Amino acid sequence: MMVPGGPESATAPACVKVPLKGLLPQQGRRVASPWGEVAVFLLSNGQPRAVLNRCPHKAGSLAEGIVCGEYVFCTQHDWKVCLKDGRAALPDVGRTRVFKACILGDDVVIEAED
């Protein structure tokens, strides 16, 4: 789907910045982006992760889910979604979009995967 001002358009912002001080380990945060609402997380080891804030099951919000290792459990029906590849853990099947996330200075920088 084309999003106005999204990455597909010529003037699109290449990335979205989220201040690190707004994030807590093992907790997520909803962030608006040209690609839709993104759920940004800090894992317990301090690494950032970002996925589209839509559970592949019924589009539930993932940002508030319980984070265990590389997984988040959806707030709606407890689907287990991998933050590395966006896939639902078996036996559930589905996938949500994953974004590149890295720490640059005081921010987590989120970019679309190419």
- Gap between the Cα atoms of 91 and 39, Å rounded: 23
- Which residue's structure tokens are 């950032």? 48
- Gap between the Cα atoms of 88 and 105, Å rounded: 32
In angstroms, what is the minimal distance from the CB of 59 to another protein? 6
- Gap between the Cα atoms of 70 and 83, Å rounded: 6
- Gap between the Cα atoms of 68 and 41, Å rounded: 11
The correct pick among 17, 64, 87, 100 for binding another protein (CB under 8 A) is 64
Piece of 4-12, 75-83, 102-110 that binds another protein (CB under 8 A)? 75-83
For residue 66, what are the β-bridge partners?
A: 73
- Gap between the Cα atoms of 39 and 60, Å rounded: 11
The interface mask with another protein, positions 22-61, x = CB under 8 A, is x-xxxxxxxx------------x--------x--x-xxxx
**Nearer CB in complex with another protein: 46/69:** 69
In angstroms, what is the minimal distance from the CB of 9 to another protein? 18
By the rule CB under 8 A, 94 interacts with another protein: yes
The correct pick among 2, 10, 14, 90 for binding another protein (CB under 8 A) is 90
The correct pick among 6, 7, 12, 92 for binding another protein (CB under 8 A) is 92
